[in-house]
Structure 1
Amino acid sequence: MAAQIENSLDNQWEELLDQLQALVGKRPADLNAVLFLIGVQELGTGPKRFSKEAKQDLMHIAVCRVLSTEGYYVFEGHDKDGWPQWTLAKPIPHGDLLVQEIFLKQHVIQYFESLFV
């Protein structure tokens, strides 16, 4: 059963990467690259060069945004620089790195499904 779920997730993930490649012209290398794209989208300033720290902040914004659909984070507004601010509303389930990656990928797929519909 777990293997079927993982295979289904892998297939959905590959389809998402294909769609993103068609959309942005380059296939995202991994989950972090997809989170970066979501962060840029949610920031709303368009593509530009970001510092390493800003890239980490963008990935954090993405995690907050994709997990907000399940009530893990609540959007609080924008700071003085226009960056979205989120508050943790309920604890995120614990797990090893693989479990966390699967959890995030599921929510990223849901995020894009809501955009593409």
Structure 2
Amino acid sequence: MNENLIDTEWELLLDQLQQLVGKRPADLNAVLFLIGVQELGRGPRRFSKEAKQDLMHIAVCRVLSQSDYYEFDGYDKDGWPQWKLLKPIPHADLLGQESFLKRHVILYFQRILV
């Protein structure tokens, strides 16, 4: 997926999410937070700053699992999903990392918003 297509698909995704949740996510981190809440499966509630970071980590692992970077490894004692790294994530500059994640987030939502 080239950068222009990623940007177009990303804007369309943000529009869809606005329709679903009533507010347009501000950035990639906000979308990752939404995915984390979805993957945790406990519904919306208030989370501490640390829990929000954990939710975003869950989201990153989940979306990258589509390309076999991570594998679901069960739940911890508190019921939070755990992931195992299977292969190194490609190194890139900050914009490259963002583009890499956006591609995977778009794919994630394409699979669940059918």
TM-score band by shorter chain is: over 0.9
- TM-score after normalising by structure 1: 0.96
- Alignment deviations for residues 27-55 of structure 1 (CA, whole Å, 9 cap, x no partner): 00000000000000000000000000000
Q: Give the distance between the partners of 1:101 and 1:49, measured in 2 at CA.
A: 26
Structure 1 unaligned runs (5+)? none
The alignment partner of 2:74 has SS state of: strand
Aligned residue-pair number: 114
Structure 2 unaligned runs (5+)? none
The equivalent position to 2:61 in structure 1, one of 61, 64, 82, is: 64
The alignment partner of 1:81 has SS state of: coil
Q: Give the distance between the partners of 1:16 and 1:82, measured in 2 at CA.
A: 29
Q: Does 1:8 find its partner at 2:2? A: no
Q: Give the distance between the partners of 1:80 and 1:6, measured in 2 at CA.
A: 41
What does 1:1-117 correspond to in 2, within 5 Å?
A: 5-117=2-114
Two-structure CA RMSD over aligned residues (Å): 0.9
Q: Give the distance between the partners of 2:41 and 2:75, measured in 1 at CA.
A: 11
% identical equivalent positions: 76
Higher relative contact order (CA 8 A, sep 6+): 2
The alignment partner of 2:2 has SS state of: helix
| Moved >6 Å (runs of 4+) | none
The alignment partner of 1:77 has SS state of: strand
